[in-house]
Chain A
Amino acid sequence: MINAIVAVFIVIGILFSILRLLKGPSTADRVVGIDTANIIVTGLIVFIAHIYDNNLYLDIALAYGVLSFLETVIISKYLEGRV
């Protein structure tokens, strides 16, 4: 019951940020949308670890967090024009 409520809230958050990714006017809007979606997916992986009761998903969440931070910083540097 509680897991279903939390899952519905997480899906609402990911859905709105993907909508912003699809209709953002500038490139920075799309990067903001994908950054928020990445953070929410990091929380979702930890939630999946709670549901399946498996320890390995926490390592996957940590690696996903590292990669999403690198993605945001590198796309921002590319937008500034000095990669």
Chain B
Amino acid sequence: MSILGAIFMIVGGIFYALGGFGIFRMPDVYNRLQAGTKATTLGTFSLLIGVGFMHPQWFIKILLIIIFIAITNPVGSSVLGRAAYITGVKPYKVVVDELKTLYSKGGDKHGNH
């Protein structure tokens, strides 16, 4: 049980380091969102499950934190991506921009929400 927890914790740490490196290296806001948020979500799952294997009496609270992060983290990423598009950040090497007809530049006429 302890060896399994150690393996999960090391995998979570590796995903944290790769997420941080991706957020430093990628060329664009949207690529950085993709690299940072997805990698750190999986890293958080793995590290928290590893700590739950180490301490089995904490497992309900750790499951609560995992469910909360699985709900809120993609929501925050999506809201941040839409805010970056509305403030006028162009995607890197983009060819077709289909959102141009939905959002105006000034931010007073939004799309379907």
Contact = CB atoms under 8 A, between A and B. Distances in A.
Nearest to B3: A2
Contacts of A36: 19-20, 23, 36-37, 40
B87 A79 contact: yes
A73 B37 CA distance: 14
Interface size band for A: 35 or more
B51 A26 contact: no
Interface residues of B, number: 48
A43 B20 contact: no
Given A35-B36, A79-B83, A10 B62 contact: no
A62 B55 contact: no
Contacts of A61: 65
29 contacts: A2-B10, A6-B13, A6-B47, A9-B10, A9-B13, A12-B21, A13-B20, A13-B40, A16-B24, A20-B23, A20-B32, A28-B80, A28-B84, A33-B23, A33-B36, A36-B36, A39-B37, A39-B69, A39-B73, A40-B19, A40-B40, A46-B62, A49-B58, A62-B61, A69-B76, A73-B76, A73-B79, A76-B79, A77-B79
